[in-house]
Amino acid sequence: MAPAGRYALFALYATAAVGTAAHALLHKRDPRAAWGWIAVSWLFPLAGAALYYVFGVNRVQTRARRVFGREQAGPPPPGEVTAPGIAGTDPVEVRELVRLGRALSARPLVEGNRIEPLHNGSQAYPAMLEAIAGARRTVHLGSYIFLDDAVGGQFALELERARQRGVTVRILLDGWGDIVYRPRGSTLLRRSGLDPVLFLPLRVWPPMLHLNLRNHRKLLVVDGSVAFTGGMNIEQDHAAGPDGLPKIADLHFRVHGPLVEQLEAVFLADWSFAADEPVPCPAAAPAAADGDHSGRVITEGPNEDLDRLVMVLIGALAAAHERVWIMTPYFLPPAALTSALQSAALRGVDVSIVIPERSDQPWMDWATRHILAHLLERQVRVFLRPPPFAHTKLLIVDDWYVQFGSANLDTRSLRLNFELVVESYGKPLAEQLAAHFAAVRETSRPVRPDELERRKLPVRLRDALCWLFSPYL
């Protein structure tokens, strides 16, 4: 190549690399991500900048804000925050936690909700199918995984029957989940005459190759009067097998009351974003009070600030006096949350974490083993739950605060996915779920420091290497 051509090519490379580095510095909030893309742009001439353009630029946030604006976190209006009266609690701490949730979520705490835990598909699926069968106006269903199997077939049949009755049926599936998990639920639904919308489906042009930023929320809202949410997807593995046990153990929740309106609003905003249509109006008036729990929806998504869930979790841990009990299928918390767990345990709070003995992602298990020693030495207790694979996401603080939903305690959920959790204030649900947690913990094996120390060097290196890549798992 002539010298002039080499100089021109070098100038193009330098311009692309500098432009990529500048964009990453201005728009990446995590310094590790910024450093990674800067390194790629310089180490791989032109190809690095092209990779950043395709994979590194977050086009989702811009489009989402254009569709339905941005929720701004900030102090609630004076006099708006009210704390539910919960006997035996510190009213100041409850009020502070309520204020934090309101400031971060931009949603009020609503009273008069009935929240019922449903264990596994044997309880959740019949209740969900019954609600769809009784639908008269709208059925809104969103799921990360929806499979073409026996359970998926039941839902497709009931959804199609509802559509034939004149019910408006809106279905939202994650674009990545629909491709990766087979047989594809979208094919089943279209075969049944339904028209599911895919959230961020992968495409080459215009570039939409987001392996992250997945919609991990699970929602079913019927007629604006009853909602179901939690950690359960639509698949046979959640249903009982020949031995009476599911392959995946999980909790889902049925909600009645004003909280349903918040859950439906989340679905409609997500559906509008994915369908690129205006946000539909709810088909029914807000549900009337139907219980004794106060609750609020907290989300992280394309038009929302990061670390919202982490800040709420840290606030809840700071309010704990007796116990912080956590169930999660994947446990790789950020440093700030790890410190909050250790701080609570050192204050004398019973901090117990139940994770699966073996999850469906062994590399996550290996990365988790690498961090457990640091928790155990600060009085945090960790328990390994035997099979079936435990997929439950649950936080219980003392005997009055519960948080449940779709978020795991790992980087993918807390920074990369679109997640939804519900925070509930009220003793009946907290005490009911505490009894469930205690029963599970009784059958689980505590992790001991000596077993972590006995790991052989190759195993330790494997675990540490997986931990090193934990922000991308």
Q: Of 228, 259, 294, which closes a domain?
A: 294
Cα–Cα distance list, 170 to 152, 309, 337 (Å): 16, 27, 36
Q: How many CB atoms lie within 10 A of CB 449?
A: 11
At residue 289, does pLDDT exceed 50? Answer: yes
Asked whether residue 236 falls in the same domain as residue 137, the answer is: yes
- Residue 416 backbone phi and psi in degrees, to 5: -110, -30
Q: What is the pLDDT of residues 24-58, one digit of tens each?
A: 777 666 676 676 777 777 667 767 677 776 656 66
Assess contact for 384 and 445: CB atoms under 8 A: yes
Identify the H or E element spanning 466: helix 457-468
| Average of per-residue pLDDT values in the chain | 87
Q: Has residue 62 been placed in a domain?
A: no
Q: What is the pLDDT of residues 396-444, one digit of tens each?
A: 999 999 999 999 999 888 878 899 999 999 999 999 999 999 999 999 9
Asked whether residue 340 falls in the same domain as residue 275, the answer is: no
Closest CA to 161 of 194, 195, 196, 127: 194
Asked whether residue 237 falls in the same domain as residue 283, the answer is: yes
Range of the domain at 400: 308-472
Q: Has residue 265 been placed in a domain?
A: yes
Assess contact for 13 and 47: CB atoms under 8 A: no
Q: Which residues contact 413 (CB under 8 A, 6 or more apart)?
A: 216, 309, 330, 406, 407, 419
Asked whether residue 214 falls in the same domain as residue 328, the answer is: no
Which pLDDT does position 378 carry in this prediction?
Answer: 94
Report the C-alpha gap between 206 and 215 in whole angstroms: 20
Asked whether residue 254 falls in the same domain as residue 281, the answer is: yes
How many domains is the chain partitioned into structurally? 3
Q: Has residue 303 been placed in a domain?
A: no
Asked whether residue 251 falls in the same domain as residue 389, the answer is: no
Asked whether residue 262 falls in the same domain as residue 388, the answer is: no
Asked whether residue 234 falls in the same domain as residue 288, the answer is: yes
Q: Has residue 241 been placed in a domain?
A: yes
Assess contact for 56 and 24: CB atoms under 8 A: yes
Report the C-alpha gap between 201 and 190 in whole angstroms: 16
At residue 1, does pLDDT exceed 70? Answer: no
Q: Has residue 432 been placed in a domain?
A: yes
Q: Is 58 exposed, middle or buried (0-12, 13-18, 19+ CB in 10 A)?
A: middle
Q: What is the pLDDT of residues 112-154, one digit of tens each?
A: 999 999 999 999 999 999 999 999 999 999 999 999 999 999 9
Which pLDDT does position 280 carry in this prediction?
Answer: 86
Q: Has residue 90 been placed in a domain?
A: no
pTM of the complete model = 0.87
Q: Which residues contact 51 (CB under 8 A, 6 or more apart)?
A: 40, 44
Q: Of 244, 265, 294, which closes a domain?
A: 294
Q: Has residue 248 been placed in a domain?
A: yes
Asked whether residue 330 falls in the same domain as residue 444, the answer is: yes
Closest CA to 121 of 255, 249, 256: 249
Q: What is the pLDDT of residues 352-404, one digit of tens each?
A: 999 999 999 999 999 999 999 999 999 999 999 999 999 999 999 999 999 99
User: Looking at 41-50, 60-69, 241-250, 447-456, which range is the least confident one?
Assistant: 60-69
Asked whether residue 276 falls in the same domain as residue 421, the answer is: no
Q: Of 294, 322, 344, which closes a domain?
A: 294
CATH assignment at residue 251: 3.30.870.10
Cα angle value 375/380/384 (rounded, 5°) = 90
Q: Has residue 102 been placed in a domain?
A: no
Asked whether residue 10 falls in the same domain as residue 159, the answer is: no
Which pLDDT does position 67 carry in this prediction?
Answer: 44
Asked whether residue 260 falls in the same domain as residue 122, the answer is: yes
Report the C-alpha gap between 166 and 140 in whole angstroms: 14
At residue 338, does pLDDT exceed 80? Answer: yes
Confidence of residue 245 (pLDDT cuts 50, 70, 90): confident
